[in-house]
Amino acid sequence: MQVDMRDAFFEELVVAARHDPRVVFLTADHGAFALQALEKEQPDRYINVGISEQNMVGVAAGLAASGKIVFAYGITPFVSLRVMEQITLDIAAMELPVNIVSVGAGFTYSTDGPSHHGLLDMAALLAIPKLRILNSSDPRNTKSFVKGAVSSLRPHYIRIEKEKLGELNRNLPFEDTAPYGYSSISGSAEGDILVVSTGLITHKVSTILNRVSPSIKVNVSHIDVHQIKPLTRDLLSFLLKFRSLIAIDEGSTAGLAGSILQQLSLISPRLPNFFSIGSPDDFVYTPTSRDELQQTLDLERKLLRALN
């Protein structure tokens, strides 16, 4: 069954707010169906600050400094690039329990042009110390982000999808591997090539690999990474078991791929062969569907080339 990813997240947030009076929600005049329940049940803890994302982050920091656990919600570019200074100094530097909830990853808002495309946020925010970055790929890990954010009391940047998605077919239940920051989609514990993807694009990657795997002469495994920063030591150790890595992200190659290369280089002088697939180093102005804009990634051709 497919579930709206925003509803998966916010339904879990409604439950968290019922049980923890510290939970507060801010929005920059942006909504979702499941948020109606939160606004109705907790009107004093649901605050619409209007279209003022920089102010929203400042308000979130003030609330967190007074003992609240804050979730601040908006469209990806506006709660990342537009507010990078506020996230850095007001939240991360102070290590406050503020969770920036971003909707619109990749080409979600496909018809609205570069101002709304969520291609650069992970790459930019990876540079901010103390900020944990989470990226959703299906309803199960999306729901898990709420509990993790409430319990950890640390700053997060959480990307949730706007689309309806089904559960990924994993080798093990998500709950078994969630603490490691990734889940295994297909393949074995070590081998020739590991395909590493994150977010919605994981579904397409899985479909392609299932179709072409009979013609591939090497052992190929596939994982979905939901914690982009920090990559866990378990994940980093796992990555080093493979001869080659292929990192795939709908956004900038400086995002997932950049995180892997930077963090691997800190623990090992010898890195696997590395291939990265992501959005082109350009702005995309064509007002068309997300599927059509994803074609600019040239995903299948590049993936097959990297596998052969």
Domain-wise residue ranges, the chain: 3-165, 174-307
Sort 191 into a burial class: Cβ within 10 Å, 0-12 / 13-18 / 19+: middle
* 268 token code pair: 């090992």
Radius of gyration of the chain (CA): 19
SS3 labels along the chain: CCEEHHHHHHHHHHHHHHHCCCEEEEECCCCCCCHHHHHHHCHHHEEECCCCHHHHHHHHHHHHHCCCEEEEEEEHHHHCCCCHHHHHHHHHCCCCCEEEEEECEECCCHHHCCCCCECCHHHHHCCCCCCEEEECCCHHHHHHHHHHHHHHCCCEEEEECCCEECCCCCCCCHHHHHHHCEEEEECCCCEEEEEEECCCHHHHHHHHHHHHHHHCCCCEEEEEECEEECCCHHHHHHHCCEEEEEEECCCCCCCHHHHHHHHHHCCCCCCCEEEEECCCCCCCCCCCCHHHHHHHHCHHHHHHHHHC
Fold exhibited by the domain 174-307: Rossmann fold (3.40.50)
- Measured from the Cβ of residue 236, the count of other Cβ atoms closer than 10 Å reads 17
| Band of residue 18 on the pLDDT scale cut at 50, 70, 90 | very high
Q: Which CATH number fits domain 3-165: 3.40.50.970, 3.40.50.2000, 2.120.10.30, 3.40.50.300?
A: 3.40.50.970
Mean pLDDT of 251-271: 94
Sort 281 into a burial class: Cβ within 10 Å, 0-12 / 13-18 / 19+: exposed
* Alpha-carbon gap, residue 255 to 15, rounded angstroms: 31
* 278 token code pair: 């992501």
Query: Taking 80 as the threshold, does the pLDDT of residue 190 lie above it?
Result: no
Residue 191: the pLDDT is 77
Q: Is the pTM of this model over 0.85?
A: yes
Mean pLDDT of 174-183: 92
Residue 35: the pLDDT is 86
Q: Residues 118-144: pLDDT tens digits?
A: 999 999 999 999 999 999 999 999 999
* Alpha-carbon gap, residue 272 to 243, rounded angstroms: 5
Residue 30: the pLDDT is 83
Q: In what order do the strands lie in the sheet with 273-277?
A: 182-186, 220-225, 191-197, 242-248, 273-277
| Band of residue 223 on the pLDDT scale cut at 50, 70, 90 | very high
* Alpha-carbon gap, residue 173 to 156, rounded angstroms: 24
152 contact partners, CB below 8 Å, separation of at least 6 = 97, 132
Average pLDDT of every residue of the chain = 94
Percent of the chain, pLDDT > 90? Answer: 85
Same topology, domains 3-165 and 174-307? Answer is yes
Q: Name residue 108's amino acid.
A: T
* 6 token code pair: 């925003």
Residue 304: the pLDDT is 92
Residue 81: the pLDDT is 97
